[in-house]
């Protein structure tokens, strides 16, 4: 499955447009990560625990989007975008979405 943030793929024709597909992941903070984040706020630096948490969430959202595209019979998802939002205190959603297509 080709996943791209481009609207078109050079030298490739879109045979069929299957519609918008999406995948999301909602994750909550971990107490251990919160303690380390509090210390980093005092001393400065990257919050690696949160960076890892967000990467895991992005990967999961893309995997779910890809599964939805496969169910439609797509062989590519184009114009992929990400969106984040705060769901509740200490919890965030990452949404991946794009256009499922069949490429020649």
Decide yes or no: CATH 1.10.3720.10 for domain 2-103.
Answer: no
Q: What is the pLDDT of residue 43?
A: 61
DSSP, res 70:
H
Q: What is the pLDDT of residue 50?
A: 74
Question: For residues 64 and 22, what is the distance between their CA atoms, to the nearest angstrom?
Answer: 7
Average pLDDT per 10 consecutive residues for the chain, totaling 104 residues? 95 97 86 54 66 88 98 98 83 93 96
Contacts of 31 (CB under 8 A, 6+ apart): none
Burial status of residue 19 (CB atoms within 10 A of its CB: 0-12, 13-18, 19 or more):
exposed
Write down the pTM of the prediction: 0.83
């Amino acid at each position: 499955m080709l996943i791209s943030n481009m609207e078109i793929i050079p030298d490739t024709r879109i045979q069929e447009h299957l519609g918008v597909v999406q995948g999301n992941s909602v994750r909550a903070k971990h107490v251990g990560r919160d303690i380390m984040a509090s210390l980093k706020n005092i001393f400065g630096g990257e919050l690696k625990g949160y960076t890892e948490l967000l990467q895991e969430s992005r990967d999961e959202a893309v995997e779910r989007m890809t599964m939805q595209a496969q169910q439609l019979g797509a062989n590519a998802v184009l114009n992929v975008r990400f969106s984040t939002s705060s769901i509740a205190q200490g919890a965030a959603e990452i949404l991946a979405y794009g256009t499922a297509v069949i490429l020649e």
